[in-house]
Amino acid sequence: MPTLKTFWTDETGATALEYALIAALIFLVASTAILAWGDSMKDHYETLGDKIGGALTD
């Protein structure tokens, strides 16, 4: 049983796990922001294209 107790109280990998969780959180936030910005830019370009197309046909 001492090996199980030693394993349970061992915290040597905790720092690496914490850094991995922080990196995953940063990745999720960044990818969500990029996707939201991309959708917003798509809408702007579609509006701009419609206005240019309307001005060219007049």
> For residue 39, what are the domain limits?
29-58
Query: Is there a domain that residue 44 lies in?
Result: yes
Query: Is there a domain that residue 42 lies in?
Result: yes
Query: Is there a domain that residue 34 lies in?
Result: yes
Q: How far apart are CA 43 and CA 30, in angstroms?
A: 20
| 58 or 37, higher pLDDT | 37
Query: Is there a domain that residue 17 lies in?
Result: no
Give this prediction's pTM.
0.55
Query: Is there a domain that residue 19 lies in?
Result: no
Query: Is there a domain that residue 8 lies in?
Result: no
**Per-residue pLDDT tens for 23-57?**
999 999 999 999 988 888 888 899 999 999 888 88
Query: Is there a domain that residue 39 lies in?
Result: yes
Q: How far apart are CA 3 and CA 1, in angstroms?
A: 5
Number of domains in the chain: 1
CA distances 51 to 6, 35, 37, 40, 56, Å, are 69, 25, 21, 17, 9
